[in-house]
Amino acid sequence: MATLDPATQSPDRRARLTPRPLVVVGGGEHAAVVIDAARTNPDAWELRGFTDPNPGVGASDRLGLAYLGDDTAVSDRLAPEHAEASWFVLGFGAPPEGRRASVERFGRSMRWATVIHASAWVSPGAVLGEGTVVLAGATINAGARLGRHVIVNTRSVVEHDVRVGDFAHLAPGTIVGGGAAIGDDTFVGMGALVRDHVVVGARATVGMGAVVVGDIPDDTTIVGSPARVPPVSGHPEG
């Protein structure tokens, strides 16, 4: 886990940066949001293009970026002076295991950017792992520690001293209370609330609008308010 580069946090520090070449991995809808976030920090990032094995029709026009081919061809399409200097960021959101597999395909040689929208607040006392993306209006408060390739989506709130595992995705409008923990590869749906000091396990799925008031085991799907494991089809509760 790498400490957040403080140069991305305050406007006066951003102005001292030399923009770094940035390549977005993925050409879908989420990629456009990540690209917008990078564009709010032009002193930090200079967007070079995007990669995708199967880009949709008109993807390059829609994203406003050059198509660089699939993941394996990207270095051939970048100018030599930018190939080795480039940074990369994942431009697709779910499922977490798909994002993890993409990173593994690239191998350990890639440099993964931490991209933060200019309207987000990230405490100087927070720690963000490589490849993490923090989108518009999100808040990450003091003492929070986020792993690698986490998505903190639009207007999500990660309170003080929260722990978020690698490849977790907090969908728009989620709120995670102080001292809570979210496991690796876990997805928390739109508008979900996680109570302070609750532990949500690895590879869990928290449904949209769920209210989590107790610990959740690994590999569990929960829904509702208060959140509960949904009944198996054909076997209603009670």
| Domain boundaries defined on the chain | 7-113, 119-223
Structure tokens belonging to residue 58: 């008109």
- pLDDT score, position 89: 95
pTM: 0.87
Name the residues annotated as catalytic.
160
Ranges of H-type helices in the chain: 11-14, 29-39, 59-63, 74-77, 80-83, 96-106
> Which CATH architecture best describes the domain 119-223?
3 Solenoid (2.160)
Q: Residue 115 is encoded by which pair of tokens?
A: 């991209």
* Separation between Cα atoms, residue 138 and residue 171, nearest integer Å: 11
For the chain, 238 residues long, the average pLDDT of each consecutive 10-residue run is: 42 59 91 96 93 85 89 60 73 86 79 96 97 98 97 98 98 98 97 97 97 96 91 53
Please report where in the chains the tokens 């998505």 appear, as a residue.
151
CATH assignment of 7-113? 3.40.50.20
* H/E segment holding residue 88: strand 87-90
